[in-house]
Structure formats: structure tokens, C-alpha cells
Amino acid sequence: MNNIAQVNRLFSIVFDPGIQKRFERIMLILAGVGFLAHLLLIVLKSNEVWFLANVNSELLNDPITAIYTPFSLILFYEVYLLVFYLPRSFTSCVSKQFEIISLIVIRKIFKDIPLMDLEGDWYLSQHNLELAVDLIGFLLLFLLIYWFSVGKRRLPKRAVEDPKLLNFIASKKMVSLVLLVILIVMSFYSLVNLIMDFYFNEVVNNVDGVFFNQFFTLLILTDVVILLISFRYTEEYSKLIRNTGFIIATILIRLSFSADGFLNIILILTGVSFALLILQIYNAMENPKLDSTV
């Protein structure tokens, strides 16, 4: 019991509401500064100033792509919130994952819009077709996330009084704290690699997957660890299957970072749809009287 109290105390310090608010303000300030800095880099490249004249990056060709930087910083804050939500429930954590992937998709759209081909047979352009699919895919993704949130509200509410459940929550808080440390190290490593590629190689490869590729891989491993821990505290078949299904959805989303073209958004939609179906089946099993609602 003493260990549980220590873990809870450390978690409450790290994720103190005051610290969260300060971190949020810092990220918003950095987002504004990053937006202006990105615009400045675009202006310098257009005027062929310094080494920027030879930099080959889609993010420096149009002022609209400057939106990419503040979105990236907002995404980092969302990752912090995801780590905070991790001890609550598998469903809350997965819901936050879907919000993050939706922001990644819209960030990619902002990057791709300036690259549209508006000359000649524009409707036959591969890039234009992929952008159109991404836009439609984002709308579908937004709808699926809404349905998932509706399904999440149908989950049965249980009082957090059972000693086993308290131990399980404490174990998840410990996993969250370890995950936060790893993410901080990983984010600095990704940032350094990005700057090195930008400065020395004058190119940024797979910019959409920077950090988040490794993040979702780590998230899969974290989900598996929590699933294994849950075996000690629950033997409910429906809950174990639900959580396993959510891990499969996360794996599909992770695979989307390695996919090009239409397959990227297809994998994302497949993963979210799979999780939504798992949740609907779980709710039908746990709340059979409500199985007629969405």
C-alpha cells in the first residue's frame, strides 16, 4: 500500500494541473514562435539566403506550409496528455490516440495543399488524387472518432474502490511515468536528427513520420505491457478481447506511417473502424439493453 501511495504522489506531482496549464501555455507560445520562424525560413529560402537555397524540403516552398510547425508542437502536447490519460482506461487512451492521428492527418493535408497541380489535366494528377482521398478520409476519420466517443460514454461506470483495481491503476501510473521519460529522450533525439539532416544533408526525409513513427511503436509495446499487467487483475473475457482489439488498431495506425499514397489513410481508417467495431461488440455484451443505440 505504501508503494501505491508513492506512485500516486509522484504521478500527481508530474501531472499536476498547474504544471499542465504552464506546459500548455509554453507550447502555445512555442507554436506561435515556431510559425513565425518557419515563415522566416521560407522567405530566406525564396531569396536564396545562406545554405537554405539548396535545401530540398516541401516545407519551405510555400507560406501555407508554415502551419505545419505549430501543428507539430500542438501534437507534442497531445502526446503529453495521452500519457496522462493512460492510467484511466484503455478506451480513453485509444480515444486520445485517434485524436492524435487525426491531427497528424490534417497536418499532412496542410503540407500537401500547396503542392497541388492546377495546370492542364489537374484531375489526373496523382498528388491531387491523393490529397482528395486524404480530405475525404479525414472527414470519415472525424465521424468514426465521434462514433467512438459516443460508444465510450456507454461503457459501464465502476467505483474505484476495489484494492485490485487500485493496484492496477497504480501499475499503469508507473508505466505512464516511465513512458514520459522515454518520450522526452526520444523527442530530443528526433529533433537533433531532424536538425542534422536539415543542416548537413539539406533534406528532411519522411517528415510526417518524424517522432510519431517511433512513438506509436513505443505505444504498442506500452499497451502490451498494460494488457499483460491486466491479466493479474481481471479475468473478464470481453474486456481482454476489447483491449487486445485496441492494440491491433494501434498496430494498423503504426503501419500507416510506413505506407505511401492511398494506403496511408486506408490503414488509419481500417484501424479506427476496427476499434469502433470492437467497442460496439463489447458494449453489446456488457449493456445488452442498449445494443440498439450507436
- pLDDT value of position 292: 42
Whole-model pTM: value is 0.83
3-state SS of the chain is: CHHHHHHHHHHHHHCCHHHHHHHHHHHHHHHHHHHHHHHHHHHHHHCCCHHHHHCECHHHCCHHHHHHHHHHHHHHHHHHHHHHHCCCCHHHHHHHHHHHHHHHHHHHHHHHHHHCCCCCCHHHCHHHHHHHHHHHHHHHHHHHHHHHHHHHHCCCCCCCCCHHHHHHHHHHHHHHHHHHHHHHHHHHHHHHHHHHHHHHHCECCCHHHCCHHHHHHHHHHHHHHHHHHHCCCCCCHHHHHHHHHHHHHHHHHHHHCCCCCHHHHHHHHHHHHHHHHHHHHHHHHHCHHHCCCC
The proportion of the chain whose per-residue pLDDT surpasses 90, expressed as a percent, equals 26
Query: What residues form DSSP beta bridges with 203?
Result: 56
* pLDDT tops 60 at residue 139: yes
- Pair 252, 267: CB distance under 8 Å: yes
* pLDDT tops 60 at residue 1: no
Residues 142-154 have a mean pLDDT of 93
Residues 176-186 have a mean pLDDT of 89
- Pick the more confident residue, 43 or 29: 29
211: left (phi over 0), alpha (psi -120 to 50) or beta: left
* pLDDT tops 80 at residue 25: yes
* pLDDT tops 90 at residue 212: no
- Model confidence pLDDT, tens digit, residues 76-127: 888 888 988 888 888 888 999 999 999 999 988 888 888 888 777 777 788 8
